[in-house]
Amino acid sequence: MDFLPQDPQGDVLPGITEGEIIVIRSTRRKKNISAYRQGGRIVISIPARMSKADEREMVPQMIAKIRAMEASKVPSEELMITRIDELLNNLAPEITERPASVNWRSMRERWGSCTGIDRTIRISDRLKGAPDYVLDSVLFHEAIHLRHFDHGEEFYAILARFPEAQRAAAYLDGFEAAETLLAAPEILKKVLNPEA
């Protein structure tokens, strides 16, 4: 199993960050190649006897297909702003503040963040493939921060209005557990033993 596709000179293939791609050479595969997303990584399974030249050609094509498929399903900033407006109108009409911008960001420690001063909301790119109710839960959570900057009683009273809060929380907990289990060994060591 290779954790990072490289060209013959040992350089990382373009557009690939370390730990994002896993290439598996399978003796059971005879001709076909498969690619799928698992635990935040793209896993590509190729025949064991595939030449390095064919691997170098096919792996980037499969990565591009996965990313194109994912990009077509990712809500735009405009759609997320519209969704926040709908959520606040339906669940918290007393909150009249609206975000100036909502965008995707690479965040590994949080699902989202809100800066009340400039009314910006950032959503973790780990949620790009999440079900609508999960994304809505995070959007609603961050939108509440436009009025309530802390996690006090008023904040939680409004957050409790989200109808699928427990289901969304369970999804996010499961996602984090899966990411931890599928983390590269050196990352897992740091999670399990942060003092090391």
Would you say 140 and 87 are in contact if contact means Cβ atoms under 8 Å apart? yes
Q: What percentage of the chain reaches a pLDDT higher than 90? A: 44
pLDDT band at 176 (very low <50, low <70, confident <90, very high): confident
Would you say 1 and 22 are in contact if contact means Cβ atoms under 8 Å apart? yes
| pLDDT in the model for residue 19 | 58
Tokens 């194109």 — which residue?
A: 68
pLDDT band at 39 (very low <50, low <70, confident <90, very high): low
pLDDT tens per residue, range 84-136: 999 999 999 999 999 999 999 988 889 999 998 899 999 998 898 889 999 99
Please state the rounded mean pLDDT for residues 33-54: 85
Does residue 18 have a pLDDT over 70?
no
Structural domains of the chain, ranges and CATH numbers in brackets: 21-72 (no CATH), 77-189 (3.30.2010.10)
Give the type of residue at 86. Answer: E
Q: CA-to-CA distance for 23 and 5, rounded, in angstroms?
A: 7
| pLDDT in the model for residue 165 | 94
The pTM score is 0.62
Q: To 5 degrees, how large is the angle CA 163–CA 165–CA 170? A: 140
More confident residue, 87 or 23: 87
Phi, psi of 123, rounded to the nearest 5 degrees: -120, 135
Please state the rounded mean pLDDT for residues 12-24: 62
Residues in contact with 84: Cβ distance below 8 Å, sequence separation at least 6, in sequence order:
98, 99, 102, 121, 139, 140, 143
State the chain's mean pLDDT as an integer: 83
